[in-house]
Every structure is written in structure tokens, then in C-alpha cells.
Amino acid sequence: MNPEFTPAGLASIDAVTAALAGVGYISTRQISTAVYLAHHLRKPVLIEGPAGVGKTDLAVSAARALGFALLRLQCYEGLDDSKALYEWKYGKQLLYTQILKEKIGLLVDQADTLDASFAKLAGFQDLFFSRDFLEARPLLQAMEQRGGSVLLIDEIDKSEEAFEALLLEVLADYQVTIPEIGTIRAQVPPLVILTSNNTRELGDALKRRCLHLHIGFPDAALERRVLRARVPAIAEELLGQLVAFVQSLRVANIRKPPSIAESVDWARTLLLMHAAVLDESLVRDTLNVLLKRETDIQEVQGALAKMTQAALQSTAPASTNAQPVASLAPAQPG
């Protein structure tokens, strides 16, 4: 593939939105713009935001939409180049050493002089650090994809600062330097997506090389579209009530508001429970799908009846007796 080739799904911002929608990812204009620029400017995208809002899923969906290979590197404390870039196949080298040891007499016998013997052995020694003995890891694998790839460096904030320094060459020039072999440049520059949950501040050198994208909690309209795409069997009335309830939870005084991933799980849960509409008992029984901290569950217990009733009123036909629920509408995420 020509390194300058642009797939149809990256030809424009609208094309990115349509391509992602085709695989079930409901994108915003901001997200689609970041993906479009990442390809055309050859810059990685650093996506920050709370867990569960679709950061990782964007990379997975982009790979599916574009027909690219997905190379994923999950970051953690202690991650080093042997897990991210490459490592030598020591077992294969050891086996090769044993074979060479058994044949060394035959090889030396064929040499006329001592210098010739050393030269012959040196030639075999170089093979130990050739490409045949190299085990490629995600960063190097992405450089070698001829058909294009999406490189996902997930939860970069869980790695250490030393690993950020390792990434600088890869992200700046899309190349990897192996001392024993040389520099391997990308056949086709990968579309690189880094995600962060903001557990630590990333270095300025890394940020300078990236486009910044923040994905926060969705507003009600976007959440309805996402849930409709991911859980198409859910009834429209129940969908509206679900979204209204989740939106009210996000402005409650809790430590871990439910993400879009938990909204999707709750929608599937309500389908399994054969729910037609929300009711307080059903909400109490399934609240642990939305809230993952016991302190948060206890915090909202006293308000569940009011919140459930407000969610029901959000989809009720307008009437003169209907009570306003605007006070429960969430603020727009920043």
C-alpha cells in the first residue's frame, strides 16, 4: 500500500463519521475531526476522559471500519521495550548454538587459516541477532503492517515516565531502532491512538507529539443514539426513561458516575428482565449494574423513588397536570 494512500473512510470528516457508524460507533464531530486529522497530519491522538466513555472502543471501531489490523499495547507499571517493541527468541538462539557447537569442527576444518576460521564463525555469530531471531511486539508489528493498522496504546497513564521516552521516536518518526539490526521504518504509518484515564500527568514531550481529544460523559441526545445503536431491541419509551435516570445519576453526589458502557450494560439488563418501563423495585434490584461502589449505592438509595418517578415523567405525554422535571436535567459536560 502507498504510504500516502487515504482509505475512503478517512477521506473527509463526514466519511469518518459514516464509517464509524457502520460498525456501531456513534461519533461526534469532535471525535471524527480528531481521527481525520490524525491520518492526514500523521499525528497520534491522545484521548483523555473517564473510564467507560468509548476511548478504547474508538480504536477498535476505527480498525474494523477501515479494515486495518489492530495492534493493542496494554500499559502497566514496569512495561519495558521487551514487551512493547521486541525481544530476542532466546530459546531459538540456544537451539541454534547447540547445532553450531555440534558442527563447529566441520566448519573449522574447511578453513585454511586461523583468520579464515574466525571469519567463518563470526558470520554465523551475526545470525544470532538477525530478523529470524526477533520476536516483534505491538509497536514493531505496527511498523511492519503493509495494509495499514491502528496502533492502540491503552491506558498510557498506567505506565512509567521511562516508557514515555521510549515512545518518542516511534511517535515522532514512525520508526523503531534496533541496535543489532538498524532502523525499521513504517511501511504505512499506523493510525495511533493513546488513551488515558488521567491517573497521572503525562509529560509535555509526549503531549506535544499528539492531537488532544477529550471524551466525556454524553448528553441525553447522544446517549440515546449510542444505546439505540448498541441495544437496538430496547423499546423507545424504556430507552427514554433509562437515559433520563442515568443522566440524573451523573449529577448526583457520587464518586463514580455511570459511564456509557454501564448504560449499555443496564439497557441489556432491562431487556433480560423483560422490563417495559422503569419502576422503583426494578431500579433497586439492578442498581449495581450502574454503580460499582457500595458508598455510591447507599448515597442514592433515599432518592431512588423521586429519580425513578422523574424518569417516568420524562416520557409521559404532556398534560396540564404533569410535574416539571427540568430540575433533574443534567448540566452539559465540559
Average model confidence (pLDDT) for the chain?
85
Q: What is the pLDDT of residue 323?
A: 41
Q: What are phi and psi of 195, to 5 degrees?
A: -120, 150
- Pairing, β 175-178 against β 182-185: antiparallel
Longest dimension (CA), the chain: 107
Q: What angle do CA 311, 312, 315 make, to 5 degrees?
A: 95
Coil, helix or strand for 307? Answer: helix
Q: What is the pLDDT of residue 92?
A: 64
Q: Residue 141 region, left (φ>0) first, then alpha (ψ -120 to 50), else beta?
A: alpha
Between 122 and 242, where is the model more confident? 242
Span 30-52, average pLDDT:
95
Q: What is the pLDDT of residue 310?
A: 95
β-bridge partners, 213 = 47
* The three-state (H, E, C) secondary structure of 138-189, written as one string: HHHHHHCCCCCEEEEEECHHHCCHHHHHHHHHHHHHCEEEECCCEEEECCCC
The predicted model scores a pTM of: 0.81
